[in-house]
Structure 1
Amino acid sequence: MARRERLKQCTILDRYVPYIVSSVPGIFRLLVFVLVVIGLGSGCRSTATTSPSASSGLVPWVNRPLPLYVVPEPTPIRYPTSASPCRAGQLRVSRGRTAVGLGNQLEELVFSNVSARPCLLRGYPTISAETSAGSRWALHPQHGGTYFGRLVPADLPAGGHVFLDLATNTGCEGGRKPTVQYRNLLVTLPQGGSVRAEQVSISEDCGLSMSDFGLPERYTQPRAAAGTAGTLRARLQLPADVRAGTALRYTVTLSNPTRTTVRLNHCPGYSEGLYASGLVVRRSFVLNCRSVHAIPPHGRVQYAMQLPVPPRAEPGNGKLGWNLDTPTGPFAAQVVRVTAG
C-alpha cells in the first residue's frame, strides 16, 4: 500500500506541479516549486528507462552525414644511418626470400656485415652476371623499388644485414618469352669496391626492377587510449543479398573487450563503403549516441545501419567495409551479393 501511495503521489507531482507553479506570481515560483517537490515528491524515483543495450534493443540509424573520413598516414620510423660507408671486405652476399604476386617474381639478395664494426650500405649498386652461355653481361634494372615495396637505408651493426630486392615480370609476350638465368653475380657498391655472389642466381623475364640497399619500411603503430572508441571491436550482420537501387540494411555490434568503460560523450563518426565490380560507394556519418552514452566492460551494443546501393550496380559479389573514424578502427568487412534491380 505504501508503495502504491508513493506512486500516486509521483503521478500527481508529474501532472500538476507545472500548473501549480505557473499560477503563482513570478517572485514566489521557486519557493513554491521547492515546497511542492519536498511535500509530494519525497520517495519518488525516476521511472525513465535505461539506455538501450544489446539486451534491450537495436539503436536506430540516424541521418547525420560527415565529411568523408580518411585514415591518417602512419608516421615512418627511421633506422639509424650514422655509420661509415661499408667496404667490400666487410660484406658477404647470400640468397634471401623469394615471392610472387600478380605476375611479378621477387628475388632478394642479403648483404651481411661480417666485420666487427658497424657500417652503412645505401644507394643502388651496379651488377654484372654470367649467362648460361658463359658470357658476362651488365644488368640494367629499373631503379625505384619493386612491385613488392620499397627498402630504406639502415646501418648494419656487426653481424647485421640489409637487403637488395630484384624483381621481374612474367606477363610480356603472353608469357612465351624465354627466361634468362644469371649466375656468378658481381655487385659493385655505390662508393666503390665489388662483392662477389658466386652462389646466387637470378632470373629475368620481362626486364628487371631493383630497390636500393636497405630494410623494409616500418611505421609507428597507433594505440587507442583506454576508455576510447578505438578500443572497441566491430562485427557486421548482413543479409545474404541486396537489390541494386535499394538500401542495404544491416547491423553493427560494437563490443568492449576491455575492463574499462568506453564513454561516448564525444560521439565518434563511422565510415561505410561498398566495393563491387565497377562500383565504389563510401560515406561517413555520426554514430547514434543519443540513447547509449557508454559501453561497459565486456558489454555490447547493436546499431542499425543502412547504405543505398546505386541502381547502376552490377550483379555479383561485393564487399562491405565498416569502421569507426579513429586511427585504430575498429574495422570490419563482409561479403554481400548484389542482385539486379
Structure 2
Amino acid sequence: MRKARQLGTLAVGMAALAVAVTSCGNQSGDDGTGSTGTPPTTAPRVSAAATLEPDGTVPWVDEPATDADFRAPSAAPAPVTGPTCHASQLTGALTRWIHKSTNGEVNDPIMDASLFGYAVLTNTSHTACKLQGIPKLRLAVGGTTVPLPHSGSRSRPAVGLPPGGKANFRIDWGGPYCPTQHGTYTLDADLPGAGDVAVRLMDQTVPGCVHDDLHPQVTSFLSPGPLSDGDGNTDPRPATSTLSTLTARATDVPKSVRLGRPVDFTVTLTNPTGKAVSLAGRPGFTLEVLCTGTQGREGLNNGGKSYLLNNRAVHSVPAHGSVRFAVRATIPQASSFPGPNLYINWRMLTRGLPSGLPFVSLTLPTGA
C-alpha cells in the first residue's frame, strides 16, 4: 500500500536528494482548452477505474504512449525493404542544437545549459535500405576526442530509407560542459551494421559551463537515442498552450534507490491562473531514467519512456488549485549502478510536443 503522502514542499536532508522544479513553455499546440470538467476525448488503452486514492491523488496507471499520441499527423513511414544501409549510402547532418529551455523561462541551471538535437541521415544512393539500433558516437574538437560519458538507450523497430529517404536519432548533450580545448567540433556516428558516418555539425553551440548547489555532482554526457523514421523534430517553434501555465513539483520521493525496484513518487501540477486548465485529450509525459557511468563504465538510460496521463477521474486542474499524480519509474536492468546518482526526469507532453511544458528533475543517491 502506498505510504501516506505529505503535502507541501519536499524537504530532504541527509539523503542529498535534489529536486529541480520548473515550468517550461511548450513548443506546439495541444488539447488544453482551459475548459472545466471536460472528459477525455479518446478511449484509454488500459482498463482502469476512474477513481482517486483516499488523499485525492490520481493513482498510477502503466499506460505506455506511442509517438502518434504526441505528433501531428504525418505521412506513413517508408516501407522497410532492402539490406542494412552501408555508410557509403548515407550522409548525416545536425542542423542545430536546441536548448532544453527553448523559450528562455526561469529554469534549472543544468537543464538550461543542456542541449538536444536531431542528427538526420539521408540515403543518397539509388537503392532502398534499412537502419536499426543505437548509434555509437565520437565527438571531437580540433581533431581530439572529447572524453564524455555515453549513455545507452533502447532500440526501436527498423526504419526504411528509400532513395532520398531520411532517418534520424536524437542526441542529448548534457551540461555542465567546461571545455579545455577549443576549435571546430566534429561528430562521427557508428551505425549498427552500417559503419561510421560523419554527421556534419552545422551548429557549433556547446552546453554551458555552469555549476550549482542543486546538482553538484552532475557532469556532461552525450546520449544518443534510437534510430527513427523521418527527419525528427528539427523546428520546435513555440505555440500557445494552456498546459504551459502549469507548474510541477515532486513529493514523496524515496531517499535512496535499489536495482530491481521501481521508484515511486508524486508529481503535483499546480494552476496559478484564474481559469481551469483542461487535461482532455491525450496529454502524457516522458520518464527518463539514467545513471551516468564513471570510471569508464557504460551508463544506464531507459531512452525516455512515454506514458499517457491518467485523466480518467480528473479532467482539469482547477483555477488556483492542484492535482497530484502518482508516478512509478522503472530502473533499467543492470548488475550494479555505474555511478553515484540516478537521475529521473519527468516531463509533460502533448500532441506535437517532443519536450517542454512542466517538468521535474530528481537526483537520487545510488550508494555506488
Range of TM-score over shorter length: 0.3 to 0.5
Bigger share in strand: 1
The structure with the larger Rg is 1
TM superposition score normalised by structure 2? 0.38
Taking CA–CA contacts closer than 8 Å with sequence separation of 6 or more, which of the two structures ends up with the larger relative contact order? Answer: 2
Bigger share in helix: 1
TM superposition score normalised by structure 1? 0.40
